Structures are given as C-alpha cells and as structure tokens.
C-alpha cells in the first residue's frame, strides 16, 4: 500500500509526469561543488548540501540527462536542509555542465560507477550514507545492490530507487510508442549533441550520419551507448543492464517506488513480491507518472516524495541500530 494519491486536478500519466518537472521545480539550495579526479583519467563533479558533520548524509544518483538542478533533486535537498541533514549529488559523466574527457559517458547498468562513487563518498564518512537513485540512477543503484549483496551494507545504510526502468527492453519499447515519443525526442535533444561532440574528439566512435538520423533509443543506444560501454549492441545492453533480475539478491533495506501509470515502464513489467528479496519494500501507487508525485491543492507541491524517502531511511536506520552497526570497509586504493 502507498500513501500517495495523485490530485484530482492532475489526471493522467503524462500530466503527472510533466507538470512537476516544468511548473513546480524549486530553486536549488546553495550547493558546494567539488571535483573528483577519477583513476581512469576522467572526473566526476559533486554538488554538496552541507550541514552538521554528524548529520545523516543522503547520496542521490540522478536520472537520464538529470543533474542537481532536476526537480526531484532540488525538492529532496530542500527537505534535507529543513531537517539539517546533509546531501550530495554525484553527476554522471557529462551531466554537470562540463563534457567529460573520455569516449565513455554513463549508462543504466553501470554498477561499477556506482561502486566507485560510493567508495569515494564513504572514505570521508564515519557511518554509511543513505542512497537514493532516480530513474536511470535508480536502475544502476539496484544493479550494484544486487551485485554486492551483503557487502553493500558496509557502504549503504539503506537505499531507495524511484521509478527505475527495471526492464529496459520493455521501457525501450514503451518509449517508441505514441505520446512517449515526445519524451524520447526531448532526451535525444541533448544526448545526440553530446555524442557528436565526442565523435569530434574520438574519430571513428560511430557513424555520424546514422547518429544524426537517430530518432529513438534503439538507434542511439546501438550506435553509441552499447559499444562505448562494453556491450555488443542495444539488445545486449538493455538485457544485461536491466536491474529486475538482480532484485532477489539485494541484502540492505531498499525501497523500490514505481507508479503503476509510469509511461516509461508499463505496470505489467513491475516486480512482484516473489521477484525480490526480503530486504526490498515494493511500493507501487496507482498514480504519480514518471518521477512526478505531485500533491496538494492546485498548484500543488513536490513534498511527498522527499518525505517518503526520509521516512523510509529513518525507519531502516532505527532497525539497523537495534541490530548493531555494520563497519565501513576501507576504500579501495588507486
């Protein structure tokens, strides 16, 4: 069961998806930016919400072409600031406003990148942080949680994934149909120029004319995302990067929140209780769209989602304290 109910004045999956992102985006709180020079010769930019040194920390992994300015990110950071918690938003490569240095960028199944970032963050913390991931970031986080199993508890107190596209083959099919093609067009509006800029620096990375002609994720991911990140093609990427098969191996308290009317992933492909481990809480409200979750009388607000995440983290932390702490492993060197 879920406490979320879409407001009567905001009907339908598409309005519930678009309205919050367009009309209700809060101004970002004051961030402090830091840059981590990664061992592979690239960099990752972090935007920090500072607070008391002993306050809980929430790490937020954003969605496709998102950033610390995304509506869900600013809403969560304001909620954390109100509670005097700390937050940090790592930007996937190429999403911080500066192009990254390598031919690679980021993708839905990059558990290795999640691991690198969490090890880096954990190096400065006395207790593990809470971690949330939205959409693409949620899928990558779940891949990492499933891969790590019980080992994830050394770097994560509890986790939450918001509207993760758990079955990328189903999501890809949904995004090429009907009104959903507008979402695809909007994503490709920024993805294609970024990829073409990489082609200028890395000749032969893909076929320019084919990229310029790409009209859906099938073509874009087959031309660039899959080969640039070690996959044989789009189907291999979508199949192996989907997090749904990994949910049975998650061993830390994890909330997976998917609206059943999310246009990016049909409800028929959402997981059921027997497809997840006992550490996973499935929450599937009837409404909300894709990372919408607008609440209240018109014009509405975005406070429900941050409150739900914080509520889950606090409950998970209370149970963990009763069971005893899990020590942090030292970060890997190099």
Count of Cβ atoms closer than 10 Å to residue 296 Cβ: 12
**What residues are paired with 285 via a beta bridge?**
none
Query: Nearest-CA neighbor of 241 among 132, 94, 140?
Result: 140
- Token pair belonging to 53: 């040194």
Contact of 276 with 159, CB cutoff 8 Å: no
For residue 145, give both structure tokens.
């949680």
Among residues 62, 71, 229, 290, the one annotated as catalytic is: 290
Structure tokens at 74: 């600013």
Classified as helix, coil or strand, 156 is coil
Is residue 239 a contact partner of residue 161, using CB atoms and an 8 Å limit?
no
Residue 3 falls in the annotated catalytic set: no
Whether residue 290 lies in the annotated active site: yes
- Active site (annotated) includes residue 135: yes
- Hunting for tokens 């790409």 — which residue is that? 214
- Could you say which of 107, 262, 279, 295 is catalytic? 262
Q: What Cα–Cα distance (Å) separates residue 58 from each residue in 51, 83, 159, 206, 330? A: 11, 12, 9, 37, 20
Report helix, strand or coil for 173.
helix
The catalytically annotated residue of 135, 243, 279, 295 is 135
Would you state the structure tokens that stand for residue 334, as one six-digit string? 């190099």
Cα(166)–Cα(188) distance, integer angstroms: 21
**Measuring CA to CA, how many Å separate 211 from each of 31, 110, 171, 229?**
35, 23, 21, 17
- The set of catalytic residues is 135, 262, 290
């Amino acid at each position: 069961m879920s406490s979320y109910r879409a407001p009567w004045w905001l009907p339908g999956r598409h309005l519930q998806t678009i309205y919050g992102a367009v009309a209700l985006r809060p101004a970002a709180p004051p961030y402090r930016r830091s840059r981590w020079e990664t061992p592979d010769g690239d960099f990752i930019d972090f935007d920090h919400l500072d607070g008391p040194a002993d306050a809980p920390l929430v790490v937020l992994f954003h969605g496709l072409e998102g950033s610390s300015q995304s509506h869900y990110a600013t809403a969560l950071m304001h909620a954390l600031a109100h509670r005097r918690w700390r937050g940090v938003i790592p930007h996937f490569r190429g999403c911080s406003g500066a192009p990254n240095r390598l031919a690679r960028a980021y993708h839905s199944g990059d558990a290795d990148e999640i691991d690198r970032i969490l090890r880096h963050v954990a190096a400065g913390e006395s207790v593990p942080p809470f971690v949330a991931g939205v959409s693409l970031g949620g899928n990558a986080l779940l891949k990492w949680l499933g891969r790590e199993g019980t080992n994830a508890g050394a770097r994560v107190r509890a986790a939450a994934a918001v509207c993760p596209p758990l079955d990328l083959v189903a999501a890809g099919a949904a995004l090429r149909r009907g009104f959903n093609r507008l979402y695809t067009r909007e994503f490709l509006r920024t993805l294609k120029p970024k990829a073409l800029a990489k082609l200028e620096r890395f000749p032969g990375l893909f076929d320019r004319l084919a990229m310029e002609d790409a009209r859906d994720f099938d073509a874009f991911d087959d031309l660039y995302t899959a080969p640039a990140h070690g996959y044989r093609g789009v189907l291999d990427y979508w199949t192996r990067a989907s997090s749904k098969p990994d949910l049975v191996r998650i061993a830390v308290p994890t909330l997976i929140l998917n609206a059943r009317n999310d246009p990016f992933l049909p409800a028929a492909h959402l997981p059921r209780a027997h497809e997840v481990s006992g550490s996973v809480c499935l929450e599937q409200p009837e409404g909300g769209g894709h990372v919408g979750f607008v609440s209240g009388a018109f014009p509405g607000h975005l406070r429900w989602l941050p409150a739900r995440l914080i509520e889950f983290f606090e409950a998970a932390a209370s149970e963990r304290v009763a069971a005893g702490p899990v020590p942090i492993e030292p970060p890997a060197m190099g």
